[in-house]
Structure 1
Amino acid sequence: MQTKERLIFNTCKLLTGTLFFLFVTISGHLLAQKIKVACVGNSVTYGYTLKDPATQSYPAVLQNMLGIRYEVGNFGHSGATLLKRGHNPYYKTAEFKKAIQMHPDIVIIDLGLNDTDPRDYALYRDQFIPDYTWLIDTFRQANKSVKIYICKMTPIFTGHPRFMSSTATWYKKVQTDIEKVARIGQLPIIDLYANFHDRPDLITDKPTLHPNKAGAQKLATVIYQHITGNFGGLKLADIFTDNMVLQRERPIKVWGTANSGTTVSVSFHGATQKVRVPFNGHWKLQLPAEKASSQPQQMTIENAGRQIQLKNILIGDVWLASGQSNMLFTVKEAKKADSLLKNSSNAPGTLRLFNYKNLAATDNVNWDTTILNKVNNLAFFSGSWQQPDQNSVAAFSAIAYVFGKEIAVKKDIPVGIIEIAVGGSPLISWVDRTSLENNPLFEPALNDYLHSDFLMAWCRQRAGKNLALSINPYQRHPYEPAYNYEAGIAKIAGLPIQGVIWYQGESDADNAPLYGKLFPVFIRSWRQAWHQNLPFYYVQLSSLDRPSWNYFRDLQRKLQYKVPNTKMVVTSDLGDSLNVHYPDKIPVGKRLARVALKETYHIDIPDTGPAFKSIRKTTTAAKTILTVHFSHAEGLTSKNHQPLTGFEVMDMAGNLLPVKASIKGSDVLMTLPPSIQVQSVVYGWNGFSRANLINSAGLPASTFKADLK
């Protein structure tokens, strides 16, 4: 018995040893067959400016992400050009030879930044594509089964000393050539520009070329996602939630991210569309247009065994409400808020609200580290679609809520309002970066914004207060040029909408001429993002006892005639002499709604107050009569039939002189002694004004200054 047991024991021991030997042998063989990854590039790949490139460069971080089955080599050479005749050609470097000798299975090529030097692409541009093709062919000769990825370059930001003179020009051309190389070679292209163009805080050296430690981490993540196809599974853009409204009579666009190569299926209202997720993990598809419907629908999104269901979706009109604090001003703060809140549960059942709430208020406080980090990560806005009730309405923009309610009632269709506003934000923070970079006037604003006269002193001081605890010299803020576009607008751009209502300008009022040049750039920026000629209906600044506001209001009046498909509403009759946040917001929402009903929905109603048209001067020996002609002047009168106020004349010496004015039909007449030589007529020409000219619709006339010819 003992002998039999010993025999069994010895046999098991022998088998165990054999299995262990096989396991060690197989494991060793597998380890010997590591997938070799060659990271080819310049100083961005090498990790120049990093404290320890050996552990902090993107190839080093990528190695940790990929794990022991991979061997990642850093073959970056600082200053290297792709061009063979460039000032420092990569093909002559020791790193290139080592990369070839590795016989890599995967090659990631990120070259081109140094070719933007005037010594390179400007002289040898015709060789760029042939030289790039040669480099690719050389790696294929080293390993016929090699998989090659080429990268569009990381951005060069405006801090670069040659940005405007030459670098930006050659950079764009090199990027275009890289795209051509990818098409010619049928190679996957990793768009590093798209992943970094809105993150200047990640490329912070003086020439704005090299990713910092956090930037190298992001760079490694982007490369990892593309070569593994792992983008974290199915995710929807955050504008898609329960209770949303989709724009009627336009194709329904849905987008998000998912693992590359998988299939996303979207079903809605009896239609289903599928799309294969592309290499970059970003998918989008389009469903047929639908007519307005208040019947709740469900949307189902499926991918790789995961399903997302969005419930209670309506089809109607979607409006975007944006700007600064007076658009942010909530229902609960507004005059007659009780009347709005009392009826909120009885508000049109077809009204839906999306409140993109701010991570932190831009009050006179220091932000903590958590807020500062989230701001840098563009995580400043968050929200979801809500049905109107006392809580959601109370926290929503008073102007936007009243506007949406008016449209929903008058048109009897579902209306969705997206509110995205930031208190104190300057206009330049809402313009996309590319539009600013491509504009010689506004490009300098992107560099060192906290010390730039492109922002009013108040904005710079408040941003500095919020950022006082930051140790990051490149810390971002919602007042920074392009920030609110990148953190908010870019995430919803493309969602079909009906139009925009806009209330902003208080933080730009000290420099009306500059605003006048930026406003058309801003409008064009958003229209390009949406690929729509979006109507913009905006609010003129109210009355406030500040010396520049009369000039600014007059500029805003003129802009509606210079920028097509825009229109302004007047609020000078509602303002408060000391309070920029006057509480009387219900009339503002209703006036904006009037404009939309007239201009967008083509309902024949008056939507503007008396508008200055021209001046006629009649002089006799005894007197001078100035006749001011107005359009939209039906029933021209004064508010509450009080004596007409607000008209003055400016003499040749620049003195403002009060005059008695009277109404005659659709004109206003002023009688002066012939001794007064008049150069201009002004109306409401004070920061705070109670000028009282209105028409039969009760709509006020705008501040204006008109020179006599």
Structure 2
Amino acid sequence: MKSVFLCFLLISSVLSAVAQEPVKVACIGNSITYGSGIDNRELNSYPAQLQRMLGDGYMVSNFGKPGATLLNKGHRPYMQQDEFRQALKFAGDVVVIHLGINDTDPRDWPNYRDYFVTDYLALIDSFKVVNPKARILIARMTPIADRHPRFESGTRDWHGEIQQAIETVARHTGLELIDFHEPLYRYPFMLPDAIHPTAEGAGILARIVYSAMTGDYGGLHLPEIFSDNMVLQRNSSLEIRGTANAGKEVTVSIAGQKKKTQVSLDGNWTVRLESLQAGGPYTLVVRSENQIKSFSNVMVGEVWLCSGQSNMEFMLKQATTARKDIPLGNNEQIRLYDMKARWRTNSVEWDGAVLDSLNHLQYYQDTKWSVCSPSTVSDFSAIAYYFSKMLQDSLQVPVGLICNAIGGSPTEAWISREALEYDFPAILHNWRQNDFIQEWVRNRASLNIKQATCTLQRHPYEPCYLFESGILPLEQFPIKGVIWYQGESNAHNYEAHEKLFHLLIDSWRKNWNMPKLPFYYVQLSSIDRPSWPWFRDSQRSMMADIPYSGMAVSSDYGDSLDVHPRNKKPVGERLARWALHDTYGMVHVVPSGPLFRCADFRQGAAYITFDYAEGMHTSDGQPIKTFEIADTEGIFYPAQAEVIGNRIKVYSEKVKSPRYVRYAWQPFTRANLVNSAGLPASTFRSY
């Protein structure tokens, strides 16, 4: 009995020793894994921070080699380094691989790209040989910022191609793919030399690996836009998405539907609900493990995003119609989600706390959906409110408005980083000294961040900033369309704006995965600023190039001295006309005033054909004003104009053989041509 007992103790001791042996984690990589550029890298590299997160039950070792390539024919192949041999000897139970950045070198990828996938597979196999049970995590590469000296000459494109090759390796092997790219991509200040993360950035990488290893993603979360009183988009499959701990079940229920899904290894989950009919109120319930998120008084109807700069932001209480319409604002069928800035871009210097928050994209106030009432609508966008009121009256369904408008903001601030990096990289370079960006915008931003100590300090007017801080956090919340009022901060350069505006719409349609996302915008009004006639005409001409778009004319309600005309009701209703006509198929609703189609020059006159020309007349009963014609480009003369059927005849005794015609070509115009619906004709210029 004594010998049996001693044997039992020995076996127990051995088993206990085995049980207490830590899980070995091998971090394979280049200088980013090594911790180059990080103060006290032994404590602050991502493997060191990962060790602290995982605790005593793990042994994390850093096998990063600065300059290493994945390619075995590259300039410094990882598999030929001492760090690789040490990693094999370590025989990790978990192996995290982050390689590929240095393969963007022109010595490597252009010559040896065909070997990348097979070389990656060989690296994986080598760790499987020394530990067949090893769990291997493959990382998508960290970003390379546009400030990198070889960014446009090849690094940008090769980085993207290598990223795709890494994803191919993950698909081929079935190994876990973790994302080191997206979590850092929106934080350029964490990449001070364009490549190497700061200690804070390394901490983000450590958290990604920790969550992937443990499945701990902090429990059940939904985007901040989910709250009581919200509106969900009707008549289309509806995706509800969020995060939760890996492998757990998530259940979503609303209006008699109950759908389940399992959380993926990266912590993300999506539930697709069947199409919901307009109505409510409903309760949306989301469950995972012992957590429940419940949202009450939810309506189903039409959801529109209302965005731009100060004229969209302009509150109902500031409008000429405020005294009459605010008391009438009780409407359960209209819901408001108001994304206001924490700090307005007034002529002030922001302190260090504000600047740090801006760098971390914490620019918007916390908010929730609210029911439209006199108290809630007073501080809401006047244009958005009048747009929704006309929609709700016409459609007789609930309408939800997301207002995300920032005073003074330029177009480029609302565009995705990826779009600008590939299609307009010049606007990213040294943006506060960049002539593509309006001088007022640059000067105001420089004043606001004057106290900054960070050389890569961010500002709401910076290219990409509002997309990253205000559009991406909407997490593709289902919407029907967009209304937009912006351009004042880009009117100095209409040629650049034309490119930017296309990129903005394309990047939003890509973000929502809606190639046909309706986008209706306001043409700038009248004011005494000399570049505005050209800008307004550019806005008009872009309608032909941008499908599923429409433009509301506002020049008849302009103010010669104030960039913020106060009568917003007609503008909101003109946007609603486009939506009712084009998006909702109400063909009896006239969407626009007369829009120039073409000009026929003959017999000493210009005969102009318009779209939406029925019943053309003048708004004031006076002769038609502000037409001009010319026989030589740039030498225009005032002209007489008269309605002939659905066309306008324009002529002048000073121009015998006209070849050019223009209308309302003044910064502040008193043009008076309208159609039967009383809608004004747009500025135009023939070419």
Aligned pair in 2 of structure 1 residues 636, 199: CA closer, same or farther (>3 Å)? same
Alignment of 1:253-264 (within 5 A): 253-264=239-250
Shift of 1:675: 5.8
State the secondary structure of the residue aligned to 1:673. coil
Shift of 1:535: 1.1
What does residue 653 of structure 2 align with? 673
Match of 2:548 among 565, 570, 582: 565
Match of 2:558 among 555, 575, 586: 575
Task: State how far apart, in whole Å, the 2-side matches of 1:262 and 1:650 are.
Answer: 72
What does residue 16 of structure 1 align with? none
Shift of 1:400: 0.5
State the secondary structure of the residue aligned to 2:686. strand
What does residue 610 of structure 2 align with? 630
**In the TM superposition, what whole-angstrom CA distance separates every residue of 1:155-207 from its partner, at most 9, and x where no partner exists?**
112112222222222222211221122223221111111222222221121xx
State the secondary structure of the residue aligned to 1:40. strand
What does residue 403 of structure 2 align with? 419
Report if the CA contact (8 A) 1:258-1:282 is conserved.
yes
**In the TM superposition, what whole-angstrom CA distance separates every residue of 1:244-277 from its partner, at most 9, and x where no partner exists?**
1111111121111111121111111111111111
Task: State how far apart, in whole Å, the 1-side matches of 2:225 and 2:14 are.
Answer: 50
Task: State how far apart, in whole Å, the 2-side matches of 1:124 and 1:565 are.
Answer: 44
State the secondary structure of the residue aligned to 1:235. coil
What does residue 592 of structure 2 align with? 608
Shift of 1:452: 1.8
What letter matches 1:216 in structure 2? Answer: A
Shift of 1:470: 1.5
**In the TM superposition, what whole-angstrom CA distance separates every residue of 1:398-420 from its partner, at most 9, and x where no partner exists?**
10011011111111011111111
What does residue 660 of structure 1 align with? 640
What does residue 10 of structure 1 align with? none
**In the TM superposition, what whole-angstrom CA distance separates every residue of 1:408-457 from its partner, at most 9, and x where no partner exists?**
11110111111111111111111112222222xx0222232222222111
Whether 1:391 and 2:364 are equivalent positions in the alignment is: no
Report if the CA contact (8 A) 2:637-2:654 is conserved.
no
Q: CA RMSD for the aligned pairs? A: 2.1
Task: State how far apart, in whole Å, the 1-side matches of 2:51 and 2:19 are.
Answer: 15
Shift of 1:674: 5.5
State the secondary structure of the residue aligned to 1:72. strand
Match of 1:188 among 164, 176, 179: 176
**In the TM superposition, what whole-angstrom CA distance separates every residue of 1:541-565 from its partner, at most 9, and x where no partner exists?**
0001000000000011111112111
Whether 1:490 and 2:472 are equivalent positions in the alignment is: yes
What letter matches 1:60 in structure 2? Answer: A
**Normalising to structure 2: TM-score of the pair?**
0.94
Report if the CA contact (8 A) 2:249-2:289 is conserved.
yes
Report if the CA contact (8 A) 1:367-1:466 is conserved.
yes
Report if the CA contact (8 A) 1:367-1:469 is conserved.
yes
**In the TM superposition, what whole-angstrom CA distance separates every residue of 1:648-697 from its partner, at most 9, and x where no partner exists?**
23452723322333334333333422666644222111111111111121
What does residue 114 of structure 2 align with? 126
Whether 1:103 and 2:87 are equivalent positions in the alignment is: no
Task: State how far apart, in whole Å, the 1-side matches of 2:475 and 2:560 are.
Answer: 37
What does residue 549 of structure 1 align with? 532
What does residue 328 of structure 1 align with? 313
Match of 1:35 among 23, 26, 29: 23
Report if the CA contact (8 A) 1:341-1:394 is conserved.
yes
What does residue 252 of structure 1 align with? 238
Task: State how far apart, in whole Å, the 1-side matches of 2:358 and 2:654 are.
Answer: 62
Report if the CA contact (8 A) 1:158-1:444 is conserved.
no
Report if the CA contact (8 A) 1:609-1:632 is conserved.
yes
**In the TM superposition, what whole-angstrom CA distance separates every residue of 1:547-600 from its partner, at most 9, and x where no partner exists?**
000000001111111211111010000011111111110110111111111111
Q: Which moved more, 1:31-40 or 1:543-552?
A: 31-40
What letter matches 1:304 in structure 2? Answer: E
What does residue 212 of structure 1 align with? 198
Task: State how far apart, in whole Å, the 2-side matches of 1:636 and 1:653 are.
Answer: 28
Larger Rg: 1
Shift of 1:127: 2.0
Shift of 1:467: 1.3
Alignment of 1:80-159 (within 5 A): 80-159=68-147
Task: State how far apart, in whole Å, the 2-side matches of 1:655 and 1:701 are.
Answer: 23
Task: State how far apart, in whole Å, the 2-side matches of 1:263 and 1:611 are.
Answer: 54
Alignment of 1:426-575 (within 5 A): 426-439=410-423, 442-492=424-474, 494-532=476-514, 533-575=516-558
Q: Which moved more, 1:217-226 or 1:537-546?
A: 217-226
Aligned pair in 2 of structure 1 residues 505, 31: CA closer, same or farther (>3 Å)? same
Shift of 1:30: 7.7
What does residue 363 of structure 2 align with? 380
What does residue 6 of structure 1 align with? none
What does residue 392 of structure 2 align with? 408
What does residue 303 of structure 1 align with? 288
Aligned pair in 2 of structure 1 residues 653, 430: CA closer, same or farther (>3 Å)? closer
Task: State how far apart, in whole Å, the 2-side matches of 1:544 and 1:73 are.
Answer: 65
State the secondary structure of the residue aligned to 2:36. coil
Whether 1:289 and 2:275 are equivalent positions in the alignment is: yes
Report if the CA contact (8 A) 2:629-2:652 is conserved.
no
Shift of 1:493: 5.0
Aligned pair in 2 of structure 1 residues 675, 178: CA closer, same or farther (>3 Å)? closer
Task: State how far apart, in whole Å, the 1-side matches of 2:511 and 2:269 are.
Answer: 17
Aligned pair in 2 of structure 1 residues 84, 309: CA closer, same or farther (>3 Å)? same
Report if the CA contact (8 A) 1:652-1:677 is conserved.
no
Task: State how far apart, in whole Å, the 2-side matches of 1:705 and 1:308 are.
Answer: 56
Match of 1:370 among 353, 369, 375: 353
**In the TM superposition, what whole-angstrom CA distance separates every residue of 1:294-343 from its partner, at most 9, and x where no partner exists?**
x2100111111011101011111111111111111111111111222110
Aligned pair in 2 of structure 1 residues 287, 327: CA closer, same or farther (>3 Å)? same
**Normalising to structure 1: TM-score of the pair?**
0.92
Whether 1:319 and 2:304 are equivalent positions in the alignment is: yes
Q: Which runs of 5+ in 1 are unaligned?
A: 1-20
State the secondary structure of the residue aligned to 2:271. strand
Whether 1:643 and 2:623 are equivalent positions in the alignment is: yes
What does residue 65 of structure 1 align with? 53
What letter matches 1:419 in structure 2? Answer: C
**In the TM superposition, what whole-angstrom CA distance separates every residue of 1:589-624 from its partner, at most 9, and x where no partner exists?**
1111111111112221212112223333344xxxx3
Task: State how far apart, in whole Å, the 2-side matches of 1:437 and 1:573 are.
Answer: 38
**In the TM superposition, what whole-angstrom CA distance separates every residue of 1:483-504 from its partner, at most 9, and x where no partner exists?**
2112121222533221111111
What letter matches 2:616 in structure 1? Answer: L
Task: State how far apart, in whole Å, the 1-side matches of 2:395 and 2:623 are.
Answer: 38
State the secondary structure of the residue aligned to 1:148. strand
Q: Which moved more, 1:574-583 or 1:178-187?
A: 178-187
Aligned pair in 2 of structure 1 residues 465, 637: CA closer, same or farther (>3 Å)? same
Whether 1:691 and 2:671 are equivalent positions in the alignment is: yes
**In the TM superposition, what whole-angstrom CA distance separates every residue of 1:15-43 from its partner, at most 9, and x where no partner exists?**
xxxxxx99xx8999489612221111000
What letter matches 1:611 in structure 2? Answer: L
Shift of 1:644: 2.5
State the secondary structure of the residue aligned to 2:266. coil
Q: Which runs of 5+ in 2 are unaligned?
A: 1-8
- State the number of aligned residues: 675
Task: State how far apart, in whole Å, the 2-side matches of 1:218 and 1:327 are.
Answer: 36
Shift of 1:647: 1.5
**In the TM superposition, what whole-angstrom CA distance separates every residue of 1:282-303 from its partner, at most 9, and x where no partner exists?**
211111111111x210011111
Task: State how far apart, in whole Å, the 1-side matches of 2:616 and 2:73 are.
Answer: 75
**In the TM superposition, what whole-angstrom CA distance separates every residue of 1:619-642 from its partner, at most 9, and x where no partner exists?**
4xxxx3333333322221111213
Task: State how far apart, in whole Å, the 1-side matches of 2:601 and 2:111 are.
Answer: 64
